[in-house]
Amino acid sequence: MTPSDLLLQHPIRLAELGEGVRVAYREAGKATAVTHVLLHGIGSASGSWAFQLAAARANPAVRVLAWDAPGYGESTPLVPEAPDATDYATRLWAWLDALGVRAPVTLLGHSLGALMVARAARLQPVRVQRLVLLAPARGYGRAPTAEREQKLGDRLALLTKLGPQGMAQARGAAMLSPAAPPALVDAVRETMARIHVGGYTQAAHLLDQGDLLADLQQVACPVRVASGSADTITPAAACEAVARSVGQDRQDLGPVGHACPLEAADAVNALTGLVPSPSAE
C-alpha cells in the first residue's frame, strides 16, 4: 500500500490544550501499550510516519503518536516569532499531558524533530525511556553569526520565491535516494506542498538556533542514531558525529535518502521496536 492509502486508516485527530491551543496528530495502537512519540522534520508532517503507524496498528505491544508540529496542519503555532527548542518541547509535553500519557515514552525525532526530542528529554528526563534520532539535524547554533544569517535567509527566501507547492516540486525528490519508488516521491511532495508558511518560518528559526550536541550532553537516557548512506541533507559523516557524541555508532539504514522513515521503513520499524524482534517470535 502507498503512504496515502495507509494514512486513510489513521486520520487526523485534535487534542485541545486549553486557551485556544490544539495539536493535530495521528495515532495507532492501544493506549495501554508502550508509547512511541514521533516528531517530523521541517518540510514534513505527521503523514511522513505512515509506515510506522501501520506497524503499530499490527503490533498490540506498541502505540504510536505522531504530531503535526506547532504551525503545521491544524496545530496552533507557537507564540514567539522565533521559537527555540524549549518552546517546542514544552508544547510536546503539554500535548502528551492532554492525552493522559504518563508512563515513560520513546521519543523519535526525524531531522529537525531531533532537536525537539532532545530538548524534551532534558526538560523531563523521567518521562523518557530512550531517544531515537533519524537523520538528525544538528542545528546551526554553533555556527558563526554570518553563516547562520545566510542559511536562514536563503531558506526563507526560497520559500517566499517558490511557495510550498513550488518548493515541494523543486526539493521533494532530494529527500529520497535516486532509486526511491515514484510513490514515495509523490508522498514527500504532497506533504511538503501542504506546509504553512508561518509554521515553516518558526521551524526555520529553531534550526537556526538549535544545538543538538549541547542538548545530548545533558540527556541521561539511551540514544540511538540512524540514517541512510544516500542522505545528502544530513550526510553520514554528520550523523556519525552525533552518534559519537553519545558514545554510540551510527546505524546505517542502507542506501536511502533523508526521508528514511518512508524509504527505509522496515529498518526503522525494527530499530525502534515497532515490529517484534525475531527472537520474540
Residue 44's closest CA among 52, 36, 35?
Answer: 52
Per-residue pLDDT band at 279 (split at 50, 70, 90): very low
Rounded Cα distance, 49 and 61, in Å: 18
Q: Which residue has the cell 524549549?
A: 86
Over residues 90-112, the mean pLDDT reads 97
Over residues 25-43, the mean pLDDT reads 95
For residue range 166-205, list pLDDT tens digits in order.
Answer: 999 999 999 999 999 999 999 999 999 999 999 999 999 9
pLDDT at 277: 57
Residues of the chain above pLDDT 70, percent: 98
pLDDT at 223: 98
pLDDT at 32: 86
Contacts of 167 (CB under 8 A, 6+ apart): 43, 158, 159, 192, 193
Its pTM stands at 0.96
Rounded Cα distance, 226 and 203, in Å: 22
71: phi then psi, degrees, rounded to nearest 5: 85, 0
pLDDT at 281: 38
pLDDT at 112 > cutoff 50: yes
Over residues 60-67, the mean pLDDT reads 96
Classify residue 88 by burial, with Cβ atoms within 10 Å: 0-12, 13-18, 19+.
buried
Across the chain, mean pLDDT equals: 96
Q: Which residues of 23-51 are buried (b: 16+ CB within 10 A; e: fewer)?
A: bbbbbbbeeebbbbbbbbbbbbbbbbbbb
For residue range 235-267, list pLDDT tens digits in order.
Answer: 999 999 999 999 999 999 999 999 999 999 999
Rounded Cα distance, 259 and 124, in Å: 28
Sheet strands side by side (includes 62-67) = 13-18, 21-29, 62-67, 34-39, 105-110, 128-134, 223-227, 251-252
Cell numbers representing residue 174 in the block: 532530494
Q: Which residue has the cell 495515532?
A: 27
CATH of domain 3-280: 3.40.50.1820
User: To 10 degrees, the CA torsion angle through 132, 211, 228, 150?
Assistant: 150
